[in-house]
Amino acid sequence: MGIKTWQHDRLITGPVQASVSDIEELNRVFSDSFTDRYRRDGMIGVRVPPLNPDIWRYAIRDAGEGAMLWSDEEGELLAFNMVHYSGVEGWMGPLAVRSDRQGEGLGKLIVNTAVDWLKDRGATTIGLETMPRTAENIGFYSSLDFRPGYLTVTMGSPSTKHSIAPEYLLLSGPSGSSKAGLLERCRERLNLAAPGYDFTREHQLTEELGIGDTIIIEEGSEVRGFALWHSAPLANNKGPDEVRILKLFADSVDTFEKLISSTASCAARSGISRVTIRCQTARKQAYSSLIMRGYQVSWTDLRMTLDGFEETDVGEGVVLLSNWEI
């Protein structure tokens, strides 16, 4: 059951768990609120399109009980927050409050609810990403004890430029116990570098929903790295136009470069012309490698973490990229 509370003498209900039947309403609030955000930032001509329903299905199922909705007095969607929890890593996004009800303290409510939910589940990293040009957002999250860190830089390159790749495995290849064993080896190797991190659910959901795959580099039976990617378009009513890397682990920069080449090769063979990756600037060697390969910057986000719940340090030379966007 949802919790009922008063906010400026107006009744709201929530949070309740989202389901796929909520996608149409989610898309309406998502598109309107983010378009309004861009307009207030001076980007008058930008209209944020609805998300692909397949991306919403992934977001809702990945969040599980963390897919939180709030409704107004008439039962209409008022706000949402997709709160994700993988191992010890917790993050939120997308999240939005309906444009006509902003400024009532609802943003604080949905963020604090998410923070409490993640703390209750033992998250040691709690974060989100926001546009670095939006001082209002940065100030708002800072007032809730989130602190700015480094940038996440969205970078892209034509897939045909780097289509020669080393040997790699696709998670979609093996079946049954072989697939389960491969996933377990990925989890164990990631946990060795970043204790408590676990992307198993994301690997499984991506394949189950048919929206992407995972490339795995092995040496013998030892996993050296993996890259989880989606090829389903983000915007509704569009065809596949890019492969997006969401999660990546590499035990060295050399393995990172092999993963990037393998992803480009996989995209090119599928007839997809572009590869994008959201690279955290804290991973300087990985960022430099992408620049040297000709990857170009198209967008930036500011990574913010809750005070006392910062990201885990990884070993020297290790590359760990965990996308905090869908």
pLDDT digits (tens, 9 = 90+) for 96-153: 999 999 889 999 999 999 999 999 999 999 999 999 988 999 999 999 999 999 999 9
> Which residue, chain included where needed, has tokens 């996993």?
223
In this prediction, residue 233 has a pLDDT band, given cuts at 50, 70 and 90, of: very high
Asked if residues 190 and 87 have their Cβ atoms less than 8 Å apart, the reply is no
Average per-residue pLDDT for the chain: 93
DSSP letter string, 192-221: HHSTT---HHHHHHHHHHTSEEEEEEEETT
Handedness of CA 114, 141, 82, 196 (dihedral sign): negative
pTM of full prediction above 0.85: yes
Residue 167 confidence (pLDDT): 85
Cα–Cα dist 246/326, whole Å: 8
pLDDT band, very low/low/confident/very high, at 1 (cuts 50, 70, 90)? very low
Q: How far apart are CA 59 and CA 326, in angstroms?
A: 7
Of residues 175 and 218, more confidently modeled: 218
Residue 239: the pLDDT is: 77
